[in-house]
Structure 1
Amino acid sequence: RFLVMEVFGRYAGFTAMLPTMAGAANRCVIPEYKFDMEHLTELLCYDRARHPSQYSVVIVSEGAMFEGGEMMFSGRTTDAFGHAKLGGIGDLVSAELNDRSAKYNKGKSIHVINQRLGYMVRGGDPDAIDSIVPMAYGNLALDLILHGAHGRLVVLKNGRYDNVPLEVVTSTKKTVNVDKYYNKERLRPLYTDFEMQPLFIMASD
């Protein structure tokens, strides 16, 4: 079978890329790169054939688009900031995989399980980093207030706690650097050049 997991992220593919890099999926598709549906099907069939339990997983960013398609929106509703809510690409990918998989599986379609994770992604038990970093952020933010510093944001920069002007994160949209981090042919992160990279790869740029 195939497992298709749709995750949030709007115009940036970090929430699809990082779990894939951590081993949660074989492939991922992201908003920053329009993917070929036929190629994704072929790759997932290849992954499935190599897995002892005969399954493979793809993480689909909610803003992902296949070649010839556009972003999919879940109705006309908007979020608290007035942005149209994205969603539904996972359903479409699942249907396409079901239709196309027989070509790479001796004429038999492969069953697809489709799950839209949404904010369930944030519902796991915290690990040590999840607990320590917010504690440090809170203390650093309080220090800024006590020192009369305003318009600053506490951050992790190059593996160290720091603070930067708010404009650093509000002036531009932060998206995945496809050429640096995404393997367009394999539809997954690039697993190279880790030397001297910060702990939070991609997100630290």
Structure 2
Amino acid sequence: MKAIGILTSGGDAPGMNAAIRAVVRTAIYYGYKVYGIEKGYKGLLNEEFVEMDLSSVGDIIQRGGTILKSSRSDEFRTEEGRAKAVKILEKIGIESLVVIGGDGTFNGAKKLCELGVSTIGIPGTIDNDLAYTDYTIGFDTAMNTIIDAISKIRDTSSSHDRVNIVEVMGRHCGDLALYAGLAGGAESIVVPEIDIKTEEIVKRLKTTQKRGKKHSIIVLAEGATSIENGAIGLKAALTDEDKADVRITVLGHVQRGGAPSAFDRILASKLGNKAVELLIEGKSGRVVGIKNNEIIDMDIDEALAVEKKFDEESYEMAKVLSI
């Protein structure tokens, strides 16, 4: 019986469990043995394998995080580490590998593919920073978590006539900040892709104050560099220039947790199923995704080379709607 391995690597994302479930059950349906590899590439090198059956993935579609756990591995980044990984997979009898994660995870899969391991990648990252696919697993859930937090923060912000800076994840990609800020009615959105000055934010705050609005929400992506010293620097500038009562809320890892949304569960199920079908067809070195509401697959090199385009139209619209 042929065997398929599955691992999750990098940052966890809501919906990863739904993808694991889909991979395991699809593979078993077609007569394959499935091994879960715990703790990502690090677990692969440490031979942390567990054979999975239908019951292994029961009652996990609604759970956040990843039952296989995740970590990062410096050893796997070396040629010696990857050669060791291939030998371990051969020893266990795993011929194909499904990896769930972001660009770092995909680069690892690419290296294994070059060494003869059949690999398929599934995009799982809350940042939505893989350009070849419209959505990554976990993005929708994380965005809704942020929106829920913004709604709660706005209640207390309006009660005290405060300015609240909400810092969200997004080192290089501002999608979480943009769409959560748009949906949450933020007065200003600060993202890595757009160079915005403190003076512009102060001006926008004064404009809203003139029409009688005393509280404001500013959503700031952690990777935005246009504001010196990030949220702390912005707070200091607003306090000095606008004499505002400013509070900072760093949402942090709360964005990674929670039950996945219906959208993420469905997307993860479709992508997991597609990944196994591709392996059965003898395909390798590919990644799956969703484009224009269609499930697609693409060469991993081509996918990683696609340039991420920021949604400037929605960004400008958010500015118009927040006057």
TM-score (norm 1): 0.67
2:23 alignment partner in structure 1: none
Greater helix percent: which structure?
A: 2
Does structure 2 conserve the Cα–Cα contact (< 8 Å) formed by 1:8 and 1:61? Answer: yes
Measured at CA, do residues 163 and 57 of structure 1 come closer, stay the same or move farther in structure 2, by a change above 3 Å?
A: same
Question: Structure 1 residue aligned with 2:249, among 108, 115, 121?
Answer: 115
2-side partners of 1:13 and 1:126: how far apart? 21
Identity of aligned residues (%): 28
2:235 alignment partner in structure 1: 94
2-side partners of 1:92 and 1:144: how far apart? 49
Q: 115-124 or 133-142, which moves further after superposition?
A: 115-124
Question: Structure 1 residue aligned with 2:190, among 4, 25, 29?
Answer: 29
Question: Structure 2 residue aligned with 1:182, among 307, 315, 321?
Answer: 315
**Paired letter, 1:137:** L
Q: 111-120 or 43-52, which moves further after superposition?
A: 43-52
2:181 alignment partner in structure 1: 20
2:171 alignment partner in structure 1: 10
- Tell me the alpha carbon deviations over residues 91-147 of structure 1, each in whole angstroms, 9 at most, x when there is no partner: 11112111111xxxxxxx221110222332232442211211111111111111111
RMSD: 2.6
Q: CA deviation at 1:21?
A: 2.1
Question: Structure 1 residue aligned with 2:225, among 65, 72, 92?
Answer: 65
1:134 alignment partner in structure 2: 268
1:171 alignment partner in structure 2: 305
Measured at CA, do residues 23 and 93 of structure 1 come closer, stay the same or move farther in structure 2, by a change above 3 Å?
A: same
**Paired letter, 1:8:** M
2:207 alignment partner in structure 1: 46
Does structure 1 conserve the Cα–Cα contact (< 8 Å) formed by 2:192 and 2:226? Answer: no
**Paired letter, 1:34:** D
Aligned partner of residue 182 in structure 1, secondary structure: helix
Does structure 2 conserve the Cα–Cα contact (< 8 Å) formed by 1:44 and 1:57? Answer: no
User: Number of matched residues?
Assistant: 160
Does structure 1 conserve the Cα–Cα contact (< 8 Å) formed by 2:166 and 2:218? Answer: yes
Does structure 2 conserve the Cα–Cα contact (< 8 Å) formed by 1:98 and 1:112? Answer: yes
Does structure 2 conserve the Cα–Cα contact (< 8 Å) formed by 1:26 and 1:58? Answer: yes
Gaps of 5+ in 2: 1-161
Q: 133-142 or 15-24, which moves further after superposition?
A: 15-24
**Paired letter, 1:114:** I
Q: CA deviation at 1:19?
A: 0.7
**Paired letter, 1:66:** S
Aligned partner of residue 249 in structure 2, secondary structure: strand
Question: Structure 2 residue aligned with 1:156, among 278, 290, 295?
Answer: 290
2-side partners of 1:156 and 1:125: how far apart? 21
Does structure 2 conserve the Cα–Cα contact (< 8 Å) formed by 1:7 and 1:16? Answer: yes
Q: CA deviation at 1:63?
A: 2.2
